[in-house]
Copies of this chain bind each other. A is one copy, B any other.
Amino acid sequence: MAVIIYHCEMARWEPDGRGRLADAALALYGERGFENTTVAEIAERAGLTERTFFRHFTDKREVLFWGAGALQELFVNAVAEAPEGSSPIDAIAAALEAAGDALQQRGDFPRQRQAIIASSAELRERELIKLATLASALADALRQRGVADPAASLTAEVAIAIFKIGFERWVEESNQRTLPQLLRESLEELKAVTAGG
């Protein structure tokens, strides 16, 4: 029992193996770099076996990207559930709000993750692909609402632009404003910019 309590204090307690492995991986990537960390070390730090690791993740890269599916679902659902008659940009604003709230509640994880992504060309590429996939899914969700192309694709790309820039500012700012605030500001800024021509 004492061992378990000790473990709870060493690494933030997560009831599931997946969460413990993700925390351990992120800590190790931060300490010794993504390239220099092995799955064996991640499992050891989490107090689990390599076999358990591979039950949750295909490789050490996936630890950083498994949340992308949930984020996409959140975005897409928010667009789908925006009140009938909402303009495309209002549906996107609702989606940004939902995603911002969710990420804000994940504590330091998104920021730590971002620092690791930024440190590796391979990971930055993977992130770009995930964002492109998210843009496609958002465009589909807008089409489902009856938004025609090119408005659907353009609005989806705009959403990703706002998300990317708002998120970058949040990471740099170290908690002065919340992510939802920064996303709202970025959306307003974008409206001002496009109206300025």
Interface residues of A (CB under 8 A from B): 87-90, 93, 124-125, 128-129, 132, 150-151, 153-155, 157-158, 160-162, 164-166, 168-169, 185-187, 189-197
Minimum CB distance partner of A132 in chain B: B128
Contact call B93/A155, Cβ cutoff below 8 A: no
A165 to B193, CA, bound (A): 19
Partner of A89, one of B90, B151, B189, B194: B194
Identical copies in the complex: 2
| Distance to closest chain B CB from A154 (angstroms) | 5
| Distance to closest chain B CB from A28 (angstroms) | 26
Other contacts beyond A87-B196, A151-B193: 12, CB < 8 A: A87-B193, A90-B197, A124-B129, A125-B128, A128-B132, A150-B169, A150-B189, A154-B162, A154-B190, A157-B164, A191-B194, A191-B195
Q: A128-B128, A195-B191, A197-B87 are in contact. Are A161 and B154 (CB under 8 A)?
A: yes
Partner of A194, one of B153, B158, B160: B158
A169 to B148, CA, bound (A): 13
Q: A125-B129, A197-B191 are in contact. Are A186 and B150 (CB under 8 A)?
A: yes
Which of A155, A157, A168, A191 counts the most chain B CB atoms within 10 A? A157
A129 to B162, CA, bound (A): 18
Residues of B within 8 A of A93 (CB): 197
A191 to B150, CA, bound (A): 12
Partner of A154, one of B87, B90, B124, B189: B189
Ranked nearest first, the 6 interchain pairs of A and B with the lowest CB-CB distance are A157-B161, A89-B197, A87-B196, A128-B128, A194-B194, A154-B190
Which of A158, A162, A187 counts the most chain B CB atoms within 10 A? A158
| Distance to closest chain B CB from A105 (angstroms) | 23
Residues of B within 8 A of A150 (CB): 165-166, 169, 185-186, 189
A88 to B194, CA, bound (A): 9
